[in-house]
Structure 1
Amino acid sequence: MAEFVGGDDAAGGGRADCDLIVVGGGPVGLAAAIGARQRGLSVVVVEPRSLPLDKACGEGLMPGAMAELARLGVEVDGHTITGIAYRQGLGPRFATHDFEGPSGRGVRRTALSGALVQRALSCGVTFVDAKVTALVQDARGVTVSLGGGSGIRSRWLFGCDGLHSPVRRMAGLEAAPRRRLVPARRRYGLRRHFSVTPWSDRVEVFWARRCEVYVTPVGGATIGVAILGGRGLDFDQVIASIPALAARLDGAEPDSTLQGAGPLRQRVRRHGVGRVLLVGDASGYVDALTGEGLRVGLAQAAGAVAAIAGAAREPVDVNRAYEHAWSRASRGANTLTAGLLALAHSPFRRLVVPISAAFPAVFGAAVERIAR
C-alpha cells in the first residue's frame, strides 16, 4: 500500500484526487470499489489493517452473494453449500431445505478477502494504508484527513468501515440510543475453525437454549463454528452443551484462534448525507441470525455505486436514490431477521425447530428468501 498525499487543495474544497474514497477494506468495501471501477470511476480504498482481513462470521456465502461476486469477476475457493438445516440443540428435531437454484459456498473470510483484493488491484483500485481521522464535505466533494498530516479529496465517499463505523460518527449519522424500559439484549458472535472433514454440505444451525451455533463447511478438511448469543459466551461450554456437535468435534484440532464481534445491533439516523453514503454493516445492522449479511451488503454496495454513477450522467438526488436501493437490498432481510430474533428471545424459542420441521414449505420459503 502507498501513502497518498492529496492535491494542494486537499484540505478543503477544490480539485478532487479521485471520484470515490472507500473507507474500509472488508468484502463490502472492496466490492464497492470493484463495482465503481467497472463503471469507469477512479477509486481509493483507505484501510489501516493488513490485508487480507479476517472477521468473526459464519462464512457461508448464499447463492445471491455468489452471483454478485461472479458479476464483479471474483472467483473464490471453498466448499459447496447446498442448503440450510435447523437442528434442536438437545433433541432429535431438525428441519432442512436445499436451495432450489444454484448452490452457495463456504469460504474462509481470509480467502474471500484475498480474492477481492487481487481483483481490486487488477481493476486499478488504489489502496492507502492509513486511518481516516476526520472528514469534511461541501457541495462538490469530501476531504478526509489521514494520519501523518496527509489528506485525500474525492467527489464521493462510502463508509464501509463496519459495525462500529468511525465514518458514521464523523458524518453525524449515528442514531441516539433508544430509551427502553427493559435493557436491550446485546448480541455478540464468536468463531473458530476446526480441522475435520465436513459431515454435511449444508450450513447446520443448532438452536441451543440461549444461543445459536452455526457450522459451515469451508474446505475439504475444515469447518467453521460460529456462535451467536448474549454477553459472556463461553465457546467450549456452548459446544459441550450440544452432545451431537461435541461428538463430531471430539479430538478435532482448532485451525484458527477464537475471534469475536459485537455488539451486533447498530442503528443509524439515515444511510447517507450529502456526498457520504454508509454501506454494509456501517449502514445499520440487526443481527447475523439469518446468515445473509454479506449478500445484503454486496447488494447495498451495488446500489451505492449505481447511485453515484447515475449522478455522473444526469442530475440525480443521490441520497434519495441510495435510500431506495438500500431499502430494496435490506428491508425484507431486516424484517425477517427482526421477526426471527423476537421469536428467539420469546418463551417460544424452543418451538423454532419443531415449527420449522412441521411446516417444511414455510421453512423452505424462508430459506429461499435468505438465499436470493
Structure 2
Amino acid sequence: MIDLLVVGGGPAGLATAVHGALAGMEVVVLEPRPTPIDKACGEGLMPGAVRRLAELGLSVPGRPFHGIRYLDGMTGRHVEGRFHSGPGLGIRRTVLHAALADRAARLGVRVLARRAGEVRQDEDRVGAAGLCARYLVAADGLHSPVRRSLGLSAPPAPGRPARYGLRRHYAVEPWSELVEVHWSQRCEAYVTPLGPGRVGVAVLTGDRAPFEEQLGRFPLLAARLPASAQTPVRGAGPLRQRARVRVAGRVLFVGDAAGYVDALTGEGLTLALTAAGELVRCVRAGRPQAYERAWRDLSRSYRALTASLLWARQQPRLAGRIVPAAARMPWLFTRAVNLLA
C-alpha cells in the first residue's frame, strides 16, 4: 500500500514527497498540471528555507541576499536588518519547482496527472483518485479543495479586509543585496534580486487595482524600473486562509493548505518546507496526531509577528509610522528579521 498520497505537486507537496522517500516510504503525488507551475510569489527564500532545501539534498541556483530593508515609498527613509545565519536566496518559482520535481523523480516518487476528487477514509486507510494509502497529505494550495471538501476551512475573521498579491519581473540589474520592502499608506511592494539583469516585484494590497496603478504609489521604486515589464502580472488571493485543524484522521495538511496569514513577512516557503519534514517525522513515528502540535509550535513566531504587523498596517494612524518606528529601533528590527530568518 502507498504510505503517503500527496495531493498537490507544488513546492510543499514535493518537499513532503522527498522527505517521505528519504525516510523509505512509498510516495505518490497527484498533480494534474505540468511541471513547473508558475504562480504569484515573492521568490525570496529566507535562510531557514535555504537550509531546509540543503536537508533535501538540493543546491539550487539563485541570487543570494543578505537581509531585509524597509523603505518609506515616498521619502526613501529606511531601516535594514542583516541576517546572522547566512544568506537568503532569490530564485524564480519555476526554477525551485523544477529542482524539487527532479529530486523527487530521482528518488522514485511517482507523479500522476490526476485530480484527487472525493477523499474517503476509515480507521485503516484513505483513498482518492482511485488509490488507497496509509495517509493523505493535502498540499493543494491556498484555496485547498481537500480542506473545503472536508469542511475544515474556517470563515474569514470579521472586520479584516481581504488582501491580494500581484507579481511581475523586470529586466534591470539588482541595485541591492537585500530584499527591499517599500511601504505606502495602502500597500507594500517587495523587490527581490533574482539574478543578473532581473528583479521580481510583488505588491501586497487590499485594493483591487491594476499593477501599474499599485506601483504608482511607490514613485521612488517606479523610477528605478524600466517602462515595460519582462513578464505578465500574476495574482493570488485572498491571502488570509484559516484552517480548523492540520490533522483530520488520516488526512494531514501542509503548506498554504494548512492555513495562511499573509505574505507580509515572507515566511511562507520556509514554513512549508519545515512543516513537510515535521509531517513525515510524525507519520514515520506512528504519531500523526502530533503533527498538529508540531505545526503550531514551528509556525508560532510567523503567525504572531505577521498578525501583529498586519494589524498595525490596517490601522490608519499606524500604517504610515511602521517604517519610522522601525528606523528608530534598528536593533529591534534586526532581531525580528533574524527571528524569521
- State TM-score, norm by structure 2: 0.97
- The separation in 2 between residues aligned to 1:222 and 1:298, in whole angstroms, is 25
Secondary structure at the residue paired with 1:192?
A: strand
Question: Structure 1 residues 228-237 or 88-97, which shifts more?
Answer: 228-237
Q: What is the CA-CA distance between 1:247 and the residue it aligns to?
A: 1.2
Structure 1 residue 107 corresponds to structure 2 residue 122: no
Cα deviation for residue 173 of structure 1 reads 1.6
Task: Kindly provide the amino acid, as one letter, of the partner of residue 19 in structure 1.
Answer: D
Q: Does 1:340 align with 2:309?
A: yes
Give the alignment partner of residue 284 of structure 2, picking from 305, 309, 312.
309
Are the equivalent residues in 2 in contact too, given 1:173–1:272 (CA < 8 A)? no
- Alpha-carbon distance in structure 1 between the residues aligned to 2:104 and 2:314: 41
- Kindly indicate whether the alpha-carbon contact (under 8 Å) linking 2:69 and 2:78 is maintained by their aligned counterparts in 1: yes
Residues 1:350 and 2:329 are matched in the alignment:
no
Bigger mean CA deviation after superposition, 230-239 or 68-77: 230-239
Corresponding position: 1:222 with 2:191:
no
1:325 aligned residue:
294
- Superposition deviation, residue 305 in structure 1: 0.6
Corresponding residue for 1:65? 49
Query: For 1:3-45, what per-residue CA distance to the aligned partner results, in whole angstroms no more than 9, with x for missing partners?
Result: xxxxxxxxxxxxx3x1111101111110000000000000001
**Is the 2:65–2:89 Cα contact (8 Å) retained in structure 1?**
yes
Is the Cα contact below 8 Å between 2:21 and 2:27 reproduced in 1?
A: yes
Partners of 1:219 and 1:192 in 2: how far apart? 15
Shift in Å, 1:240: 2.4
In 2, Cα distance between the equivalents of 1:99 and 1:263? 30
| 2-structure distance, mates of 1:75, 1:369 | 23
Q: Distance in 1 between matches of 2:268 and 2:151?
A: 24
User: Hey, what's the Cα distance between the residues in 2 that align with 1:305 and 1:250?
Assistant: 45
2:321 alignment partner AA? L
Match of residue 116 from structure 1:
100
Aligned residues: CA RMSD:
1.1
Is 1:211 aligned with 2:209? no
Query: Distance between the aligned counterparts of 2:235 and 2:172, measured in 1?
Result: 22
Deviation at 1:177, TM superposition (A): 4.4
- With 241-250 and 77-86 compared, the bigger mean Cα shift is at 241-250
* DSSP-derived class of the 1:260 partner: strand
1:161 corresponds in structure 2 to 140
CA contact under 8 A between 1:212 and 1:228: conserved in structure 2? yes
Q: Which residue of 2 aligns with 1:10?
A: none
CA contact (8 A) 1:171 1:276 kept: no
Q: Which moved more, 1:64-73 or 1:324-333?
A: 324-333
Q: Is the 8 A contact 1:206 1:212 kept in 2?
A: yes
Shift of 1:170: 2.3
8 A contact 1:22–1:43 mirrored in 2? yes
1:363 equivalent in alignment to 2:339: no
2:177 maps to what in 1? 201
Matched residues in 2 for 1:225 and 1:338: separation?
23
- Offset of residue 257 of structure 1: 1.4
Take 2:204 and 2:103, find their aligned partners in 1: how far apart are those partners? Answer: 31
Q: Which has the larger radius of gyration?
A: 1
Amino acid at match of 1:349: A
Q: Cα–Cα, structure 1 residues 192 and 275, in superposed 2: closer, same or farther, change >3 Å? A: same
Report the Cα distance in structure 2 between the residues aligned to 1:310 and 1:172, rounded to whole angstroms. 27
Q: Does 1:30 align with 2:6?
A: no
Inter-partner Cα distance in structure 2 for 1:57 and 1:341: 18
Tell me the amino acid that sits aligned with residue 230 of structure 1.
G
Match of 1:259 in 2: 234
In structure 1, the gaps of 5 or more residues are: 1-15, 146-150
- Going from structure 1 to structure 2, the CA distance change for 1:361 and 1:207 (only over 3 Å counts) comes to same
In structure 1, distance between residues paired with 2:132 and 2:243: 25
Amino acid across the alignment from 1:370 = L
Which secondary structure state, in structure 2, belongs to the residue aligned with residue 133 of structure 1?
A: coil
Whether 1:80 and 2:64 are equivalent positions in the alignment is: yes
Distance 1:236 1:135 in 2: 42
- 2:224 is paired with a residue of what secondary structure? helix
- Among 222, 247, 251, the residue aligned to 1:272: 247
- Matched position secondary structure for 1:155: strand
C-alpha deviation, 1:325, in angstroms:
1.1
1:211-257 per-position Cα deviation (integer Å, ceiling 9, x unaligned): 00000011111100000011413211222232211111034x42211
Residue 68 (structure 1) shift: 0.3
Aligned residues: 340
Shift of 1:272: 1.0
| Partners of 1:351 and 1:324 in 2: CA distance | 35
- Report percent identity of matched pairs: 47
Q: What amino acid is aligned across from residue 310 of structure 2 in structure 1?
A: L
Are the structure 2 counterparts of residues 206 and 177 from structure 1 closer, same or farther at C-alpha, using a change threshold of 3 Å? closer
Query: What secondary structure sits across from 2:309 in the alignment?
Result: helix
Structure 2, unaligned stretches of length 5 or more? none
Q: Say which of 144, 151, 156 aligns to 1:172.
A: 151
Taking the aligned partners of 1:195 and 1:81, their CA distance within structure 2 comes to 18
